[in-house]
Chains A and B, each alone.
Chain A
Amino acid sequence: MSAALRFEPLPRADVVVQQPTSDGESPRGPRAVTESADDRERRAEERRLVRAAQEGDDAAFASLVRAHQRRAYAVARAIAANHEDAEDAVQEGFLHAYRALDRFRPEQPFGAWLHRIVANAALDLTRRRKVRAAEELPESVASPFRDPAETSDLRRRLTGALELLGDRQRAVIVLHDVEGFKHAEIGVMLGIPEGTARSDLHHARALLRRALGAVRSDL
Chain B
Amino acid sequence: MSKRRITHRRPADGPDPEVVELLRDAHRPPDTPGYWDGLESRIMARVRSARDGAGRAMAPAVEWWQVMGGWIGAGTWAAAVAALLAVAALLQSRAAERRVAFTAVLEATSVVPTTLEAPAPGTPATAVAPGAGSAREAVLRHVLAPR
Contact = CB atoms under 8 A, between A and B. Distances in A.
Interface in A7-49: 13, 16-17, 20-24
A135 to B, nearest CB: 27
A145 B23 contact: no
Contacts of A70: 29, 36
A24 B14 contact: yes
Contacts of A145: 30
A22 B31 contact: no
A181 interface: no
A74 B29 contact: yes
Contacts of A177: 15, 19-20, 23
Nearest to B42: A91
Contacts of B12: 22
A208 interface: yes
B51 interface: yes
A31 B106 CA distance: 109
Contacts of B36: 5, 66, 69-70
Interface in B19-39: 19-20, 22-31, 36, 39
A219 interface: yes
B25 A149 contact: yes
Contacts of B16: 205, 208-209, 212
Nearest to A7: B36
Contacts of A65: 40, 43-44
Contact of B15 (A16, A87, A147): A16
B44 A62 contact: yes
Among B10, B12, B30, residue most surrounded by chain A Cβ atoms (within 10 Å): B30
Contacts of B5: 216
Interface in A126-184: 145, 147-149, 151, 154-155, 158-159, 162, 173-174, 176-178
Nearest to B51: A98
Contact of B31 (A1, A58, A206, A219): A1
Contacts of A1: 28-29, 31
Lowest 9 A-B CB distances belong to which pairs?
A149-B26, A20-B14, A177-B15, A24-B14, A158-B22, A94-B43, A24-B15, A177-B20, A1-B31
13 contacts: A2-B31, A20-B15, A21-B11, A22-B13, A65-B40, A65-B43, A69-B43, A94-B43, A95-B47, A149-B25, A158-B19, A212-B19, A216-B1
